[in-house]
Every structure is written in structure tokens, then in C-alpha cells.
Amino acid sequence: MDFSLSEEHNLFRSAVANFVDREVVPAAAELDTRAEFPEALFNRCGELGYFGIRYPESVGGSGGDMLMFNLMIEELARGSLSLAACVAMQCLMGTDFVYRFGTPAHKERLLKPALRGEKMGGIAMTEPNFGSDLAGIQTTAVREGDGWVINGQKMWITSASRADFFTVAAKTDPNAGFKGIDMFLVERGTPGLHVGKPIHKLGTRASETAELALDNVRVPAENLLGPQGSGFRNLGAILAQIRVMTGALSLGVGRAALDAGKKYANERVQFGKPIAQFQAIQHKLADMATQLQAARWLVMHATWQIDQGKPDNTAAAMAKLFASEMANKLADETTRIFGSYGFAMEYEAQRYFRDARFLLYGGGTSEILRNVIAKEITG
């Protein structure tokens, strides 16, 4: 088992890192302040081929592995978690079901343009009253003639105001629990599909999030993505990828916070010397670096398992749990190193602190993940 990066992976990571340093980092604070979708940077990611990293060349991708994808996601999150969240949605959750279960026409009209950055995809699962309890969703899809009629409300939908198409989770059998959940392709402009106003958030402010309402939305039969009754199982097939990807996002934020803390500690002088020379600060930085490295190995191991064709949902849950909590811990410690300046909006420490909260929810909350892990280790 060798987790060292190949020359190809190292070259790709360096290329992404250079892009982040040149174009993302200088723009990140202003995008956050304006709560403005990073359209120019998002389009640049499309031009650079980032959206198709994990898809085969047959649909316009580049055939990269999960490691390459996560290296990209980590670097983007280091520069701007808002941008990284938008890109992650486009690369994985917003397009995967269309790739796996869409018709050839769907792939030509939607997937291939999305991988070029010409269209945008999203996924609509969470509802106002149901988040972790996916089996409890109330959105319904009823078969009528040669199609389906969908009714319900969705909440916290990333890129909702800009997406050209959505993968929508709905109940085709309200009495079947998880087995009654299916996924449907719904395109922007379909009568009855309404996007609410953007939600003003504490963090990841440049990643637009909104409510989605479906009022007698009719879609053709071929827009059922996968055999009826398989939606939850098909989601499970990429759940490890979603969680490990969220771990990679966490590594990026953790790195940014640690780098900011080290830089400030070496510049800030108190009692006649840089605060980095005081043992109290040194211990903080040592603990932060150790936690980041531990998270990295958990994420790398779970990523390696996916690339070996043996995804381990428990390992992925552990990686996401530890890495997201790590990112929040490091962001908090960085604000403490900054002292009162960590409370000032002109310094980046407060943005890392706010953005890191986002990582606690996507891919399963820490509480849900602990339930998943506990169930596995206790039999």
C-alpha cells in the first residue's frame, strides 16, 4: 500500500495549485463579501477541464481517478470553499446520475455540455423538514400516462438559481421507506418548477443556495434515473465518494487556516519577539499540523479504497467525520492565534472559521456519521 503520488498526480496538483494561487486566492475575500457566485472562476474551471476529471473520455471527461479528483478539490478549497463547493456539485452529485442512468439524448444535451462548463447541474434531496432522515422525504412522484408528476419542496439546493438541470429525489411509493425513493431528471424551464430566493448564509457565501418548489412538474418516463425503487441504493453507490470528497474539502480549509496561523504568528510581535516563539503558540501549531496530517491519511486511505474498486463506507464516514471536525478545530485555533484580529473582517481567519461550518453538514452530520461507524464496529 503506497500513498505516494505519481508523477502525473503531482503535476496535476501543481497545475491546480498554481491556478488557485494566481486566480482564486486574490478573488476569494471579495467574492465572500459580495456573496457573489464565482462565475468567472467557475467558467475557468470548465475551460481547464476540471468538471470532467472523474468521468471517462467517452462522455467528454478525462478519465481521472478519485485521487486526482480529491487533489483538485483540496486545492480549490484552500483558495475558496465557495468555489470548491460549486465545482464539487458540478463534478459529482449534480451530474453523476445523468451519467449513470441518463439516456444518450440526456448525455448529449446535458452531461457533455456540463463537463465543458456550458451547463450546470444540481441535486435536490434535502427538504424543509427532512435532512438526515432521507426516508422521510415528502416529495412525491406519481406515474401518469407516459410520464411522472412530481410535487414537493426542496431546501438547501446548491447552485439552484443557476442550474440547468436537477436530480430530484422523490417518493414513488410512500409506504416503502428507502425502497420507495427514486431520482428524476428535471430541467430548468419545466412548468411548475420554481426556484426561491437565495438563502443568506453564515459561510460559503459565494456558493448560492436556494429553495426549490415543484408544483405538478411533469417529466417523461425516461427521466426516471435508474430502475424504479433503486434511487437510495444508487445514491449509496457514490456515498463513499461524496463523504471522501467532503473530507478533501476539509483538508483544503484546514491547510488554509494553518498556513494563515503560521504566517501571522511569525509576523505578530509581542513582548519583543514574534509570538511564534512562545511555547503556547508553538503547541497550538503543532497540534494543528498533527490533526491535519491525521485527517489527510484517513482521506487518502478511503480514496485509495475507492480507486481500488473497493469503497468502504465506514472508512469514508471516519474520514469525513474526522476531517470536517479537524477543519473546524483548526479554523477556531487560527482565530485564537490572531487574537482580536481574528474577529476582524479584513483578515482571512474569520472566513475560514465561518466557511468550515459548511463541512459539518454535507455528506452526513457528525452525529449521523458516528451512528454509522458505531453500527459497524458493534456489529
Reduce the secondary structure of the chain to three states and give it as a string. CCCCCCHHHHHHHHHHHHHHHHHHHHHHHHHHHHCCCCHHHHHHHHHCCHHHCCCCHHHCCCCCCHHHHHHHHHHHHHHCHHHHHHHHHHHHHCCHHHHHHCCHHHHHHHHHHHHHCCCCEEEECCECCECCCHHHCCCEEEEECCEEEEEEEEEEEECCCCCCEEEEEEECCCCCHHHHEEEEEEECCCCCEEEEEECCCCCCCCCCEEEEEEEEEEEEHHHECCCCCCHHHHHHHHHHHHHHHHHHHHHHHHHHHHHHHHHHHHHCEECCEEHHHCHHHHHHHHHHHHHHHHHHHHHHHHHHHHHCCCCCHHHHHHHHHHHHHHHHHHHHHHHHHHHHHHHCCCCCHHHHHHHHHHHHCCCCCHHHHHHHHHHHHCC
CB 228 within 8 A of CB 182: yes
- Report how far Cα 65 is from the mean position of its chain's Cα atoms: 17
Beta-carbon contacts of 71 under 8 Å, excluding residues fewer than 6 positions away, are 5, 9, 12, 13, 16, 248
pLDDT of residue 143: 97
For position 136, what pLDDT does the model report?
87
Q: Which residues of the chain have pLDDT under 50?
A: none
Single-letter residue type at 331: A
At 1 the pLDDT is 62
Task: Domain 121-229: give its CATH superfamily.
Answer: Butyryl-CoA Dehydrogenase, subunit A, domain 2 (2.40.110.10)
pLDDT of the residue at 285:
98
CA distances from 298 to 67, 82, 88, 136, 321 (A): 13, 23, 20, 31, 10
Task: Please tell me the predicted confidence (pLDDT) of residue 93.
Answer: 97
Domain ranges of the chain: 7-116, 121-229, 232-377
Per CATH, the homologous superfamily of domain 232-377 is: Butyryl-CoA Dehydrogenase, subunit A, domain 3 (1.20.140.10)
Tens digit of each residue's pLDDT (9 = 90 or more) over 40-93: 999 999 999 999 999 999 999 999 999 999 999 999 999 999 999 999 999 999
CA separation (Å) from 198 to 39, 205, 329? 16, 10, 28
> Which phi and psi (to 5°) does residue 189 adopt?
95, -10
Q: What is the pLDDT of residues 154-166, one digit of tens each?
A: 999 999 999 999 9
146, with CB counted inside 10 A (0-12, 13-18, 19+), is exposed
Give the CATH architecture of domain 7-116. Orthogonal Bundle (1.10)
CB contact at 8 A, 105 and 54: no
| Bridge partners, residue 151, by sequence | 140
